[in-house]
Amino acid sequence: MSACVLIRHGATDMAGRFCGHSDPPLNRTGRIQVERAGSMLPVAPKVIYSSDLLRARQSAAILSAHFAIPVQVRPGLREIGFGQWEGLSWQEIEQRFPVESQAWMEQFPAGVIPDGERYDVFRDRVRQEIEFLSAEAESQSLIAVTHGGFMRTALREVYGISADPAHQLSAVYAATVDLSQLHVGAQ
């Protein structure tokens, strides 16, 4: 397999809030983070895929300019939808949705978010995208610009990495993970 690198988008002004399907732009720091991540990649990709959300598309555009290759948008790479929790901090969620937030924590990651995307649907979407990316990486190196929740779910659900290491690998903006260096663990 050629390099198959997931890159989390750069920072936005919604840091510390549940962003999900919200569509904020990158901020100045986020643009710098993505530029650095692109310059540190060990291999030049032949294709860049991106979530359809603005922060990911802007991150992909920075990488596209760096590598002089086009971006292909894949809505399946988008973050989980947080429904009524979009744009709220965890403290605000606990205050406005005490019963739902407690149930979500007790059932994490499978808890239900009011009007949000169900985790099993999200997990299946992540698996489908990873299958697509893995097949593409059989013939060419690629980058997929996505989101922290997508990355954590792929690492846990497809590659069998436990929650804490999966979180550490995807916690910072513009984090990169080369999936071609991992072995599929959970099916």
Q: Domain containing 119 — which CATH number?
A: 3.40.50.1240
CA dihedral (62, 64, 70, 73) in degrees, to 10, reads -50
Residue 186 lies in a domain: no
Other Cβ atoms closer than 10 A to 157: 21
pTM over cut 0.85: yes
pLDDT at residue 132 in the model: 97
Tens of pLDDT, residues 40-77: 998 899 999 999 999 999 999 999 999 999 999 999 99
Indicate the average pLDDT of the chain. Answer: 94
Q: Specify whether the CB–CB gap between 46 and 121 falls below 8 A.
A: no
Q: What span, in angstroms and rounded, lies between the C-alpha atoms of 148 and 170?
A: 5
**Domain membership flag for residue 187:** no
Return d(Cα 125, Cα 120) in angstroms, integer: 9
Containing domain of residue 65, as a range?
A: 4-181
Residue 30 lies inside a defined structural domain of this protein = yes
pLDDT tier at 185, thresholds 50, 70, 90? low
Does residue 24 register a pLDDT over 60? yes
* In a domain? residue 137: yes
**Does the bond joining 75 to the residue before it have cis omega, within 30 degrees of 0?**
no
Query: Which residue type is seen at 111?
Result: G
Q: Is pLDDT of 1 > 80?
A: no
Is pLDDT above 70 for 186?
A: no
Q: Domain tally for the chain?
A: 1
